[in-house]
């Protein structure tokens, strides 16, 4: 059996490919869980269920990373409204690395 298909990371990547930003939630700890895992951090609870994020959050921190012989890229820490912090890497041009898996890109919300 293909390990990617049965792993939490594989499920997360499939949802990204379908245009959904998924995260896990543990009812027993009443907490969002991100990065995809097989059990909740701290408690070890295995009651994780998948939910779809609305994609809204607040930028906690942002910086540009210089790259030797290349274009700099932006890395941001985003506190998602669902209760988890996400590190997002923004690249100036899509398709620079065609073998990379899909990744979220955030845009500012006006007002």
pLDDT in tens, the chain (111 residues): 454 457 999 898 888 888 889 999 999 999 999 989 999 999 999 999 999 999 899 999 999 989 898 888 888 899 999 999 988 765 554 555 666 666 777 777 765
Are residues 6 and 44 located together in one domain of the fold? yes
Q: Considering the entire predicted model, what is its pTM?
A: 0.75
Distance CA 85, CA 27 (A): 19
Domain that holds residue 66: 54-98
Are residues 49 and 74 located together in one domain of the fold? no
Q: Is 108 within the bounds of a domain? A: no
Please list, in sequence order, all residues whose beta carbon lies within 8 angstroms of the beta carbon of residue 76, skipping any fewer than 6 positions away.
59, 60, 61, 62, 63, 87, 88, 90, 106
Q: Is 111 within the bounds of a domain? A: no
Are residues 30 and 74 located together in one domain of the fold? no
User: Which residue pairs, CB below 8 angstroms and at least 24 apart, start in 36-45?
Assistant: 36/7, 36/8, 36/9, 36/11, 36/12, 37/8, 38/8
């Amino acid at each position: 059996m293909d390990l990617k298909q049965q792993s939490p990371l594989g499920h997360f990547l499939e949802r990204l490919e379908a245009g959904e930003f998924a995260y896990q939630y543990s009812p027993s700890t009443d907490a969002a869980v991100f990065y995809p895992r097989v059990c909740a951090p701290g408690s070890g609870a295995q009651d994780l269920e998948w939910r779809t994020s609305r994609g809204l959050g607040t930028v906690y921190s942002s910086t540009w990373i210089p790259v030797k012989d290349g274009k700099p890229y932006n890395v941001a820490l985003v506190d998602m409204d669902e209760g988890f912090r996400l590190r997002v890497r923004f690249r100036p041009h899509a398709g620079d690395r065609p073998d990379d898996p899909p990744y979220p890109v955030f845009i500012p919300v006006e007002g």
